[in-house]
A = this chain, B = another copy of it.
C-alpha cells in the first residue's frame, strides 16, 4: 500500500477490493441458490447472480475510466463473509431454517457492498469523476434493492422456520 499517495490511488485500491469481492460472489452465489429451498429465495439469488456479473463488468468500465487495467486485490472481508455463508449452506435440519440462515448471510454481504460502494462513490465525487460516480451508483442501487427484497422474503421464511421447530 506504500504507493498510495493520492485519493485517486485510494479509489483504485477500493475498486480492486470490490472487483475481488464481486468475483468471489460470482463463484459463491450458484452454491447459495442450490442450497435455497424457498422458490422465491432461489429466484432472488439467481437474479442477483446475473446482476453481480453486471457489477463485475461495471467495475471493468470504472478501471477503464481511471486508465487502469482491471486487477483484483483479495478482499479478506468477503472471504470471511463467504466462509460464514458456507456454514449456512451446510446447515442441517429443517429447510426453512437453512433458508433463514442463508438470508442472514446474504444480507451481511449486501451490507458490506453497500458500505464499500458508498465509500468508493464518495471518493469519486470528491475527485469530480461523474462517469465513475454514475457506474458505482448504478450498482449501489441494485445492492440496496437486493437487500430490501431479502428483508421482505425473510418475513415468510422466518415464520416457516419458527413453525418448523415446533414439535407436532
A127 interface contact, C-beta 8 A: yes
A22 interface contact, C-beta 8 A: no
- A38-46, A60-68, A159-167: which lies at the B interface? A159-167
Which interface class (under 10, 10 to 19, 20 to 34, 35 or more) fits A? 35 or more
- A48-56, A92-100, A133-141: which lies at the B interface? A92-100
A4 interface contact, C-beta 8 A: yes
List A residues at the B interface (Cβ < 8 Å).
Answer: 1-2, 4-10, 14, 17, 75-81, 83-84, 87, 90-94, 97, 100-101, 103-104, 107-108, 110-112, 114-116, 118-119, 122-123, 126-127, 147, 151, 154-155, 158-159, 161-162, 164-166
